Amino acid sequence: MFYGEGRSDSAHYDMEEPCGVPAIPGSSERFSPTRPFTVHGRIGPSGRVSMNRAVIRAPEIPSSPAFSHAIRVGNLLFLSGMAAFDPGTKKVDALGIEAQTDRAIRNCEIVLRLANTRLANVVQVTVLLREPSDFDGMNRVYLQHFPENPPARAVAKLGVDLPNVLISIMMTAEIPTSEASAPASPRSD
């Protein structure tokens, strides 16, 4: 069943590729890339099936009860905005835009690794800058991390004034099928 077909309280449908989340929340059973499986979900108010999701948290990066570092749904990973937090101190040092861009991207890499993916699999990036005049400095460092076939990207002005934060970077990445079926990191929920 899909998109509310049958209109029951819960639904399932068969897929040919793994999505990398437990078949039943809390279960240790993982999907195999060699066999079809059933994704369990709930039919929401819109009548569509809501797939299970996995929350990714990186202990090295400061967290908040207001958001998760990333959410994995199927073979897609959605990263929250990452600032240039130093993993050792969990604070943003008063650095220039180039150093903060590098640190923010490296923080994104920490979360990507926890979900078994990497920068080469990033398909979309949103960069938020405190000062539009920092664009050139950010772009120089950004291109070092994405030298070929860069992902789609949007750049906008950062709408909040956080101490020392010059940049925040959000990403969406694909988790390759062979990695999506691998056991989840012990740091993911």
The stretches of the chain forming alpha helices (DSSP H) are 97-114, 135-145, 177-180
Give the count of domains, the chain: 2
Q: Looking at the domain assignment, is residue 184 inside a domain?
A: no
Residue 9 confidence (pLDDT) above 60: no
* One domain, residues 31 and 67: no
In this structure, what DSSP letter does residue 83 have? Answer: -
- Would you place residue 185 in the very low, low, confident or very high pLDDT band (cuts 50, 70, 90)? very low
Does residue 141 or residue 57 have the better pLDDT? 141
* One domain, residues 61 and 143: yes
Buried b (16+ CB within 10 A) or exposed e, 65-79: eeebbbbbebbbbbb
* Region label for 135, one of left (φ > 0), alpha (ψ between -120 and 50) or beta (otherwise): alpha
pLDDT tens per residue, range 93-123: 888 999 999 999 999 999 999 889 999 999 9
* One domain, residues 15 and 101: no
Does residue 156 or residue 91 have the better pLDDT? 156
Give CA separation, 44 vs 2, 3, 39, 54, 72, in Å.
12, 9, 15, 18, 19
In this structure, what DSSP letter does residue 85 have? Answer: B
In this structure, what DSSP letter does residue 92 have? Answer: B
- Would you place residue 64 in the very low, low, confident or very high pLDDT band (cuts 50, 70, 90)? confident
Query: Does the model's pTM come out above 0.75?
Result: no
* One domain, residues 67 and 150: yes
Name the residue range of residue 18's domain. 10-52
| Mean pLDDT of the 147-161 span | 91
- Would you place residue 63 in the very low, low, confident or very high pLDDT band (cuts 50, 70, 90)? confident
In this structure, what DSSP letter does residue 148 have? Answer: S
